Structures are given as structure tokens and as C-alpha cells.
Amino acid sequence: MDAALYQPVIESLARTPSIVVPLARSVPETIRRRRPRAGKWSAHEHACHLAAVHPLFFSRLDLILAEPPATIRPYLPDQDDPDDALLQVDLEEALQRFERDRSRLVARLRALRPEDWDRTAEHGEYNQYSVFIMFRHLAMHDLLHAYRIEELLLKKDWE
């Protein structure tokens, strides 16, 4: 794979903590754990989720690189985890873990060979999946959750 495709993904993943961590810390304690409505996550949960998924991506990468063709089981937090699991997590510890794990992940991705980015796997939810797609997806996933945190930070009217 051409580095011009995967280098921007790596750079996005490397920059995300500098956006997410200060954003999550800026949410006032009074609303940090408040859910906008039943079944929707609080800012605290969105931030903690970003830290919680790193082990999943490390193991998926190991699997794809070691056992082609690998089979990836979808992770569905609303089905795989208790409803209040992320509310039990210490936010500061999660943010520190997010920064540490993201740094390790970025270092690992920078060490991949160009052909590693093309390695594929079967995914129970998607019609195609590769190392490149997995980490492009993670980069967009990060920004989706950052956006949700900001929405909650700026929210005027709570139900």
C-alpha cells in the first residue's frame, strides 16, 4: 500500500489525544456523567470508551498479522458490556491510559511494512476489512466520540 494513504491515518491517530483529553477534562463535573437521555452515553462514557477499545485493536492487529485469513468478531458495547460499565471507570485513569496506549499503537503502526496495511480479515459486520480499514475506522471513531463529548459539553437543554 502507498504510504500516502496510511500516513494520514497514523497522523490522525497520533493527534487525537491532544484533542480528546483536554476536551474531556473541560466538561464540568456537574454534567460529565449525565446522560442526555436513557440509552445514550454521557461525556464520561464516550471518553472512557476511547481508552477501553485499545486492547481490542492491539489484539485484532496481532490476529490479522499472524493468522491470515483472520476472523474478527464485532464488538458491540451495548450488547457486550453492562449498561453502566463505563460509568464505573475513573476518568483521569482512562485518559492517561488512552494517551499511553495510543502512543504505543502509533509506534506499532509506524513500524508496519507497507504490505502489512493490505492484510485482510473477515469481519462479522463489514463486507471488507483490512489493517488499513481498521485503523482508518478507528481514526473516524475517535472523532465521532470527540464530537459527542463536545455536543454534551455545549448542550443547552437537558431533558
Q: What is the DSSP annotation of 36-80?
A: SSTTS--HHHHHHHHHHTHHHHHHHHHHHHHSSSEEE----HHHH
Domain extent at residue 131: 3-154
Task: Render pLDDT for 124-146 as a digit per residue (tens, 0 to 9).
Answer: 889 999 999 999 999 999 999 99
- Work out how many domains the chain is built from and give that number: 1
Task: Tell me whether residue 60 is in a domain.
Answer: yes
Task: Tell me whether residue 32 is in a domain.
Answer: yes
Identify the pLDDT of residue 88.
95
Task: Tell me whether residue 159 is in a domain.
Answer: no
Rounded to whole angstroms, the Cα distance separating 101 from 107 reads 10
Rounded to whole angstroms, the Cα distance separating 45 from 86 reads 5
Rounded to whole angstroms, the Cα distance separating 41 from 27 reads 14
pTM above the 0.85 mark? yes
